[in-house]
Structure formats: structure tokens, C-alpha cells
Structure 1
Amino acid sequence: MAKTKTLEDLFLDTLKDIYYAERKILKALPKMKRAATDEKLAQAFEKHHSETEEQIERLQKVFETLGKSARGKTCDAIEGIIAEAEEIMDEFKGSPALDAGLISSAQAVEHYEITRYGTLHRWAKELGMKDAAKLLNETLQQEWKTDEDLTKLADITVNAAAKAPENA
């Protein structure tokens, strides 16, 4: 008879999912940075790249606290979000709307990460994993801040620039 799955099993499974996702995001960010035409947006992607490296290190520490090796599990959700971002980069290349599309893609990534880290943080607390909960909360706060920064960038410059046809 199969072992009954527990919250701890679900926690580990979800941890593997976000670990895979973060590594995929790390690979996608340089391409998004190169595609960005707004300098502040390119800088935001650069900053998020180094934050993602930190987040991967934190996840590795969480795996260590569980006595498990850090291993990812294919995350179909992040694969889809990144595929959509690549589509936007292709379809809107050279367009004033490209940066707005890049921000929307980046925020789709952020919102996915926020749901995962929020859930993992709650579960870690529920399971009495204090160290893991602290590490996961650090990343969760970072993800909220990045999302907020992207919204500000969109509101201040990028969305207005996207409305105007080029050379108008």
C-alpha cells in the first residue's frame, strides 16, 4: 500500500518546484534585460538577477535544513510564463509597447513566486520549521518589493511611452 502523503511531502514537492523555477528565471533575466529599451527597466532586471542568485542560495539552505539535496522538479507554470515572455519579446520587438510587455511578463513571474513563497512560508511555520520559515519569508518580502518596484516603473514611465506610436 502506498504511503499516505503529508504536508511535509507537499512542502518538499513545492520547494523543488520553486527551486526549478528560480533557476529558469535566472536564465531568462539576461535575455529580458537585453530586450528592454528603458534603462531603468534593464537595471531592474539586472538587480533581480542578483536577487535570484541569493534566492537560490536561500532555497539551498532550506533543503539543507531538511537534510535533502537541492533538486528541482519541472515547473510547467514557469515554463509557460517564460514562453509567454519570449513571445512578447518576439512580437513586440522594436515597438514602444515592448517594455510594458516585459514588465507584465516580469510581474507574472513575481506573482507566481509570491504565491509559492507565501504558501511555503505558511507551511514551514505550520510544520515547525523555523529556520526554513525565516529564509522563505526573506525571499517573499524581496518578491513583494520587486513587484512593487515594477509597478512604479510601469506607472511612472513605461506605460505612457507604450501608448505613443514611435516617431509621433
Structure 2
Amino acid sequence: MATTKTATATKTKTAAKSTTSTTRKAPAKKDAAKDLNDLFEDSLKDIYWAEKALVKALPKMMKNATNEKLKAAIDKHLGETETHVARLEEIFEAMGKKAQAKKCDAMQGLLDEGNSIIEETEPGTVRDAGIIAAAQKVEHYEIATYGTLAAFAKILKESQALKILLQTLEEEKKCDELLTGLADVNLNSKAV
């Protein structure tokens, strides 16, 4: 029985050591956010880059789509995205800051994946289904980001930013619903 207790104690100590060595805190960069204001501003820069990149990417998605309803949905969202860029510039201005973009690695990855889907599918319903899947991943990222930014704006009492962010959040949700409807009703079953 003593051997079992010793073995258990040894396993516990080994597990604790491996957990400790793999969960050390990462050192912060010298320009790291120090408070919620900094994090809010950094996050705005991130989504500003993301929206501007999306303005460039949506025309390629539209050109490669074959379903007319999908093309119309992408075109509509392109207009909304251009408005989102302008709204973010308005938020920066209201905060007394220059609108600045900071590369968003998450959006870059999603856009890269969207390009891969286009290259790896034949034109037609299969590619259209892939475009919708890629677009919805982008929408979900934007929904999460705008929801988080709205929560930050509320805490920071940035009422003008909050109003703008909530308006954009609702548009992103509606776009996601539209894409879901297109996929369910028009495309996924035809892509089989």
C-alpha cells in the first residue's frame, strides 16, 4: 500500500511540474496594452484593418460566385463593409485619435482560407457553398469582435462608439442570417 501512495505522489508531483513549466506567463511586448482603454484602441485598429482587407477581398468572392442571390448578398455586404470602415474612422475621430490599422492575423487567416476554398473547388454550387462557409467564418469573427468592442465601449463610457458598434454588430448578424438562409435553401443541397 505504501508503494501505491508513493507512486501516486510521484505522479502528482510530475504532473504539477509539467503543468507549471508549460503555463508560464508570456512576457508582454513593450507596447502592450496596459489598461482597457489601450486594449479597446488596439482592438479598434485590428478590426479597422480587417474591414479594409475585407473591402478588397469581397469583389473576388463575388466574381467567383455563380449563384445570383449569393452575388447580390456579397455585393450588399461590400457596401456595408465600406460603411463599417467609415464608422470606425468616426469612432477614432470621436476619441481624438487618428484612424490607424494594425494587421489582424485572424482576418488574414480567414481571407487566406477563403482564397484556398476558391482555388480548391470547381466553379458552381460546390464553390458557392464554400464561399458561403468562408464568408460565415468571417461574419462570426466580426460578430465576436464587435460584441467585445461594444462591451468595452460600455464599460469605458464611450457612448458614441457604443452606438456605432452596436449598429454594425446588428448588420453583421443580419448578413450571417442571410448567408445561412442562402446555404440552407439554395446551395448546400445542390452541391451534393
**TM-score if structure 1 supplies the norm length?**
0.94
Matched, 1:59 2:88: yes
CA-atom RMSD, angstroms?
1.5
Aligned to 1:11: 40
Q: Which entry has the higher C-alpha Rg, 1 or 2?
A: 2
Matched, 1:152 2:181: yes
Aligned to 1:49: 78
CA distance in 1, matches of 2:189, 2:173: 23
Deviation at 1:3, TM superposition (A): 8.9
Stretches of structure 2 that go unaligned for 5 or more consecutive residues are 1-29
Contact persistence 2:66–2:124 (CA under 8 A): no
Partner secondary structure for residue 66 of structure 2 = coil
- CA gap of 1:112–1:125, structure 2 versus 1, over 3 A, is same
CA distance in 1, matches of 2:179, 2:157: 34
CA distance in 2, matches of 1:111, 1:2: 28
Among 114, 117, 129, the residue aligned to 1:88: 117
Letter in 1 for 2:176: D
CA distance in 2, matches of 1:59, 1:43: 24
CA distance in 2, matches of 1:139, 1:33: 21
Among 37, 45, 53, the residue aligned to 1:24: 53
**TM-score if structure 2 supplies the norm length?**
0.82
Q: Which moved more, 1:71-80 or 1:88-97?
A: 88-97
Among 151, 161, 168, the residue aligned to 2:190: 161
Partner secondary structure for residue 160 of structure 1 = coil
Stretches of structure 1 that go unaligned for 5 or more consecutive residues are 164-168
Length, aligned pairs only: 163
| Deviations, residues 113-149 of structure 1 (Å, cap 9, x unaligned) | 0011000001000000000000000000000000000
